[in-house]
Copies of this chain bind each other. A is one copy, B any other.
Amino acid sequence: MENIEKIQKIGSWVSYRPDIKVVDCTIRDGGLTNNFNFSEDFLKAVYKCCLDSGVDYMEVGYKASKKIFSTSDFGPMKFSTEEDIRKIVGENDTNLKLSVMADSERTDYHNDILPKDQSVLDLIRVATYIHQIPTALDIVKDAKDKGYETSINLMSISTVPTDELDEALNLLGNSEADVIYLVDSFGSLYSEQTRSLASKYLSIANQGNKKIGIHAHNNQQLAYSNTIEALILGVSFLDATISGFGRGAGNCPMELLLGFLKNPKYHQRPVVKCIQENLIPLKESGVNWGYDMAYMLTGQLNIHPKAAIAFIESEKNKNYIDFFDKIDNGY
């Protein structure tokens, strides 16, 4: 059997695309590994790295509701109050834009997201499962009315039937969101699937005045590869984290992405420096992330990494065969 896939490439090999925006999610996704228990020095070092490396956005954390989550269980960036953000960034009188993520149904957005003129934040990213889309759209409308840029990040799409995904994207395409994100929550997507989905999302974007972003996970060592594939097709908001720091297998590594992008405003050296001085010590202190055979298996099975996270966190002498046998039978 033979078939031809046509890749309509945007941009050329030697030049660069000024529409590309790099979004650093180091604190927000990395905070899932340690309940946001970061020192102020660490947070400031990541902020400085974002400034020096020329990335476009830094996501400082979540806007989680204090009615749902306790401040005694999580560090400040789980909640990202204006006061706590300003401890790190001051007035952020820079070209770097700041974002937070609001999880649909886990955020008290009416109260906790302030009008834009009272905030150092620029972008509200709304994470949603498909059944929460009406809530997500209301958060977007609220944020838009308050003066923010907005994105909708539709999660776990690798388990959503195609017709439901199409209906969801149609809703998002007609929403007020500025950016719609292709999210590979389980790190299960292959390049062919990523290209096919990116094309679908881009056709939605082209109907309105929207951008498409990608947020990849590295369960199968494909986070960087899939990010590049998506950007070649025209996806323009690229999520990455320093040293791939993030839950489970982690994310698209910023150092790889900035080594690929040719816009002279991006600089790789500050990322190398931040890894040397902050991420390597963090890993040595016992915080776990990055590619591991257990995450590979959950990615290949297209399931949530929580079983792999529990396996890696709980056992000192890891028995991968046992994990393989259990996960293969619906752990």
List A residues at the B interface (Cβ < 8 Å).
1-13, 15, 190-192, 218, 220-225, 228-229, 232, 253, 255-256, 259-260, 268-269, 272-273, 275-276, 291, 293, 296-297, 300, 318-321, 324-325
Report the separation of the CA atoms of residues A15 and B3 in the bound assembly, to the nearest whole angstrom.
Answer: 14
- Contact check, A255 vs B293: say whether CB atoms are below 8 A apart: yes
Closest Cβ of chain B: how far from A20's Cβ, in Å?
Answer: 14
29 residue pairs from A and B, CB less than 8 Å apart: A1-B12, A2-B10, A3-B8, A4-B7, A4-B8, A5-B6, A5-B9, A6-B6, A9-B192, A13-B192, A190-B228, A191-B225, A192-B232, A220-B256, A220-B259, A221-B224, A221-B253, A222-B224, A222-B225, A256-B296, A259-B297, A259-B300, A260-B300, A268-B324, A269-B321, A272-B293, A272-B321, A272-B324, A275-B293
- Contact check, B319 vs A276: say whether CB atoms are below 8 A apart: yes
Given contacts A256-B296, A275-B320, contact A6 B8 (CB under 8 A): no
Q: Which of B9, B293, B300, B324 contacts A2 (CB 8 A)?
A: B9
Given contacts A191-B229, A225-B222, A256-B296, contact A321 B276 (CB under 8 A): yes
What residues of chain B lie closer than 8 Å to A293, measured between beta carbons? 255, 272, 275
Closest Cβ of chain B: how far from A47's Cβ, in Å?
Answer: 19
Report the separation of the CA atoms of residues A215 and B318 in the bound assembly, to the nearest whole angstrom.
Answer: 30
- Closest B residue by C-beta to A218: B221
Report the separation of the CA atoms of residues A4 and B11 in the bound assembly, to the nearest whole angstrom.
Answer: 11
What residues of chain B lie closer than 8 Å to A260, measured between beta carbons? 190, 300
- Contact check, B12 vs A276: say whether CB atoms are below 8 A apart: no
- Contact check, B4 vs A9: say whether CB atoms are below 8 A apart: yes
Report the separation of the CA atoms of residues A319 and B276 in the bound assembly, to the nearest whole angstrom.
Answer: 7
- Closest B residue by C-beta to A276: B320
- Contact check, B1 vs A15: say whether CB atoms are below 8 A apart: yes
Report the separation of the CA atoms of residues A281 and B142 in the bound assembly, to the nearest whole angstrom.
Answer: 54
Name which of A6, A13, A320 has the most chain B CB atoms within 10 A of its CB: A320
Report the separation of the CA atoms of residues A324 and B300 in the bound assembly, to the nearest whole angstrom.
Answer: 34
- Contact check, A9 vs B13: say whether CB atoms are below 8 A apart: no
Name which of A224, A256, A318 has the most chain B CB atoms within 10 A of its CB: A256
Closest Cβ of chain B: how far from A315's Cβ, in Å?
Answer: 12
Report the separation of the CA atoms of residues A3 and B296 in the bound assembly, to the nearest whole angstrom.
Answer: 34
Report the separation of the CA atoms of residues A91 and B11 in the bound assembly, to the nearest whole angstrom.
Answer: 56
Given contacts A190-B260, A232-B192, contact A296 B255 (CB under 8 A): yes
- Contact check, B5 vs A11: say whether CB atoms are below 8 A apart: no
Report the separation of the CA atoms of residues A190 and B324 in the bound assembly, to the nearest whole angstrom.
Answer: 31
